[in-house]
């Protein structure tokens, strides 16, 4: 049950050999897919999801080995998580969607937008907190190329490969 007392619709979507658990609330508008952080669950988005679902459909996923989604005999990789997110978007007939991910889900969502641009809109947000190390300059460049800004905690745009504490900000083409 969500903080507003409503029960979200729930289910599983087959994605690359994994039955990905999802919760959906609201309707209309551009769908928003929420992707949890490491060791997280869809329920970490209950309050936010309820607020955002006032005028749109909001779907929270649980990635492989998290929450209701079983682990399978494959490694945890950004590409696998990205493929899984894109497959769920397709299976549920949602695309293109807005994406918002927290920590691990932020990187997986970013990778999904890079690998599957047809699945996402121009409105993207990533929360990459916890002093995440941006592995190389290509992530910063790719984020900028697809219309996302990775911001440091003091509000500056991360422009180079280094360990930075970042938070999310949606960027649209008009704001470039």
Does any domain span residue 145? no
Does any domain span residue 34? yes
Does any domain span residue 166? no
Does any domain span residue 1? no
* Complete DSSP assignment for 19-73: EEEEEEE--SSS-EEEE--TT--GGGGHHHHHHHTTSS-EEEEE-TTSTTSPP-S
Does any domain span residue 4? no
Please state the domain count of the chain: 1
User: Containing domain of residue 122, as a range?
Assistant: 9-126
CA distance linking residue 27 with residue 58, whole number of Å: 8
Does any domain span residue 135? no
CATH code of the domain containing 116: 3.40.50.1820
Helices and strands (H, E) in the chain, number of each type: 4, 8
Structure confidence at residue 176 (pLDDT): 39
Does any domain span residue 24? yes
Q: Which residue has the tokens 């293109």?
A: 96
Write out pLDDT tens, residues 121-154.
865 555 544 433 333 444 555 555 555 555 444 4
Check residue 77 and report its DSSP letter.
-
CA distance linking residue 133 with residue 152, whole number of Å: 12
């Amino acid at each position: 049950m969500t903080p507003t007392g409503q029960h979200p619709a729930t289910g599983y979507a087959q994605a690359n050999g994994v039955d990905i658990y999802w919760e959906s609330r609201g309707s209309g508008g551009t769908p928003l897919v929420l992707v949890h952080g490491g060791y997280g669950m869809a329920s970490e988005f209950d309050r936010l999801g309820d607020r955002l679902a006032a005028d749109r459909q909001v779907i929270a996923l649980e990635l492989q080995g998290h929450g209701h989604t079983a682990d399978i005999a494959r490694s945890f990789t950004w590409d696998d998580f990205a493929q899984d997110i894109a497959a769920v978007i397709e299976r549920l007939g949602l695309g293109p969607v807005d994406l918002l991910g927290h920590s691990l889900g932020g990187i997986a969502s970013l990778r999904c937008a890079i690998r599957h641009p047809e699945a996402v809109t121009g409105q993207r947000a990533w929360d990459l907190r916890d002093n995440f190390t941006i592995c190389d300059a290509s992530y910063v460049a790719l984020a900028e190329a697809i219309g996302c800004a990775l911001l440091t905690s003091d509000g500056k745009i991360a422009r180079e490969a280094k360990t930075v504490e970042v938070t999310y900000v949606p960027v649209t083409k008009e704001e470039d």
